[in-house]
């Protein structure tokens, strides 16, 4: 029997894989005639750790404003491609538990479509892959989207 997803989550981080993830999520959302949530998780702690806590509320506000603008562009892209029901979201916190459990629990997502990597090799070694964590700990199905081969 074919799985029918009613609510899909596409977490994006602005990396090279964002467009690939969104394109695949759009395809699946159209095929299932379903709701699509586009999520960006801002990890504010990474800024305060890096800059010794010197990040002001103004900087965080500007960053979230920029992210919101980019998410609106991605929403328009999905709508222009034929997805009828799209929402965009910004969450603050650690992307791993937010994407794997917290957001899907709040929004009743049945499928998470996540890029295989948004980090370079050193970052993956240091903090671990968000995709790996999500695939192991998610409360719903996960589809790992691979970047296109050149």
How many Cα atoms sit within 13 Å of 8 on the Cβ side?
29
CA neighbor of 88 nearest in space, from 15, 12, 26? 12
CA–CA separation, 42 vs 102, rounded Å? Answer: 14
CB contact set of 104 (below 8 Å; sequence gap of 6+): 9, 112, 138, 139, 140
What domain count does the chain have?
A: 1
- Look at residue 150 and tell me if it is in a domain: no
pLDDT band at 22 (very low <50, low <70, confident <90, very high): very high
Which pLDDT score, from 0 to 100, does residue 60 have? Answer: 80
Q: From the CB of residue 115, how many other CB atoms can be counted at a distance below 10 Å?
A: 25
pLDDT band at 58 (very low <50, low <70, confident <90, very high): confident
- The answer to whether 137 and 128 are in contact (CB under 8 A) is no
- The answer to whether 5 and 34 are in contact (CB under 8 A) is yes
CATH number at residue 134: 3.40.50.620
- Look at residue 149 and tell me if it is in a domain: no
pTM of the model: 0.87
Q: From the CB of residue 98, how many other CB atoms can be counted at a distance below 10 Å?
A: 22
CA–CA separation, 150 vs 143, rounded Å? Answer: 21
- Domain assignment of residue 90, given as a range: 5-143
The DSSP letter of residue 53 is: T
pLDDT digits (tens, 9 = 90+) for 83-122: 999 999 999 999 999 999 999 999 999 999 998 865 556 5
Biggest CA–CA distance in the chain, Å, is: 54
- Look at residue 62 and tell me if it is in a domain: yes
Which pLDDT score, from 0 to 100, does residue 59 have? Answer: 79
């Amino acid at each position: 029997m074919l799985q029918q997803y009613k609510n899909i989550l596409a977490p994006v981080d602005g990396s090279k894989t964002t467009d690939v993830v969104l394109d695949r999520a759009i395809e699946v959302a159209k095929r299932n005639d379903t709701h699509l949530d586009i999520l960006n998780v801002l990890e504010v702690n990474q800024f305060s750790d890096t800059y010794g806590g010197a990040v002001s509320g103004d900087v965080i506000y500007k960053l979230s404003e920029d992210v919101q603008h980019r998410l609106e562009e991605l929403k328009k892209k999905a709508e222009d491609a034929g997805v009828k029901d799209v929402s965009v979201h910004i969450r603050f916190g650690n992307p791993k538990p937010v994407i794997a459990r917290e957001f899907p629990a709040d929004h009743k997502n049945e499928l998470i479509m996540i890029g295989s990597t948004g980090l370079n090799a050193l970052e993956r070694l240091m903090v671990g892959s968000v995709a790996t964590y999500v695939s192991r700990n998610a409360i719903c199905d996960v589809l790992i989207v691979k970047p296109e081969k050149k």
